[in-house]
Amino acid sequence: MIRSIRFVLLLLPAAAGSVPAAAEVIDIDWGARGRFERQVTVAPGKFAEVCGKLLRNDRVAWRFEASGPLDFNIHYHEGQAVRYPAREDAAAGSSGTLQAALDQDYCWMWTNKARHPVSLRLALER
């Protein structure tokens, strides 16, 4: 079975409730090694998000490094509720393994609350 994760980079205006200014969706090609790596710049007040469908008990090892602090979480939606398997504030790096609890779309998300851009390097591995 082919599983894919989409990389979504959303650039939002600073005003709350605004419509995204731009969105880019990239289907990840895990390749022969089962890895996806990306480097992005997260603008001030914006966020980057990596999302994709996982099946129950799928495991994804993840890690990231950033040039400054970013608020980070892994989340999924269950009805109206948002569940957070991982959450860290002001992290410049972290790593772990996600084991999917449900067949669900899971998202890795980084938010830049600083006044300057932050370079983010991330890696996912099945």
| CATH code of the domain containing 117 | 2.60.120.680
pLDDT at position 20, please? Answer: 30
Position 89 scores a pLDDT of 98
> What span, in angstroms and rounded, lies between the C-alpha atoms of 78 and 102?
9
Q: How far apart are CA 6 and CA 52, in angstroms?
A: 5
**What's the first-to-final CA gap in the chain, in angstroms?**
13
Separation between Cα atoms, residue 67 and residue 103, nearest integer Å: 33
Residue 1, CB-side half-sphere exposure with 13 Å CA sphere: 5
> Taking Cα atoms as reference points, which of 95, 97, 89, 123 lies closest to residue 7?
123
Distance CA 110, CA 121 (A): 11
Total structural domains within the chain: 1
Distance CA 74, CA 71 (A): 11
pTM: 0.79
pLDDT digit string, tens, across residues 48-104: 888 888 899 999 999 999 999 999 999 999 889 999 999 999 999 999 999 999 999
Name the band, by pLDDT with cuts 50, 70 and 90, for residue 29: low
pLDDT 10s digits, 41-64? 988 998 988 888 889 999 999 999
**Is 10 a residue whose pLDDT tops 50?**
no
Residue 105, pLDDT score = 87
Q: Domain of 32?
A: 5-125
